[in-house]
Amino acid sequence: MKKINVLLSTFFGYGYLTKIPGTVTSAVTTGFIYIAYEVLGYTDLKFSMIFFTLLFFYSFYAVKDSESEFKNKDPRQIVIDEVLGQSMPLILLLYLNQTNQISLSVEFYYILSFVFFRFFDILKPFPVSYFDKNHKNYFGIIMDDIMAGLYSMILLYIISLKF
């Protein structure tokens, strides 16, 4: 079971990339979701939300189980948190697109989602920084990216109202 949890925590090995594994994982997540939603036409919002919720809760267990495989308390190899955080504004984008609340190209919103998430994940404004600094464990690893994803959702939503 530990091998499966390490595989999930590293998002099938993307976490082992030597250069910017978090950014690459966020970009890959954006690409996968774009292909699923926009190219393949898989737009079941309810399923996306259920899958996200299950992955979110299971990730706590997977990351906690995987932490001992790595040397520090916030291993850069664990990138499932980037998948979760990046998925949040993209699920919102699916909703906004289905309800005709976007007026610009959908690809523009995907790019914005990626840029916003990376910005907040790197800059770490409060409460992102709170989880990053005060919870040096599986909980903090996941929750700082969830907060960055929430900020990204808020900005994406505001932009959808303005344009």
pLDDT digit string (tens) for 10-66?
Answer: 999 999 999 999 999 999 999 999 999 999 999 999 999 999 999 999 999 999 999
Asked if the structure places residue 89 within a domain, the reply is: yes
Whole-angstrom distance, CA of residue 7 vs CA of residue 140:
20
Q: Answer whether residue 32 is part of any domain.
A: no
- Average pLDDT across the chain, whole number: 96
Q: Give me the domain span that covers residue 142.
A: 57-163
The reply to whether 15 falls in a domain is no
Does residue 106 lie in a domain region? yes
C-alpha distances out from residue 74 to 9, 47, 56, 87, 142, Å: 12, 30, 17, 21, 10
The answer to whether residue 67 sits within a structural domain is yes
Burial pattern 144-161, b for ≥16 Cβ within 10 A else e, equals bbbbbbbbbbebbbebbe
Q: What pLDDT, on the 0 to 100 scale, is given for residue 91?
A: 98
pLDDT band with cut points at 50, 70 and 90 for residue 73: confident
What count of residues does the chain have? 163
Per the structure, the count of domains in the chain is 1
Q: Is there a domain that residue 38 lies in?
A: no
Looking at per-residue pLDDT, the higher value among 162 and 21 belongs to 21
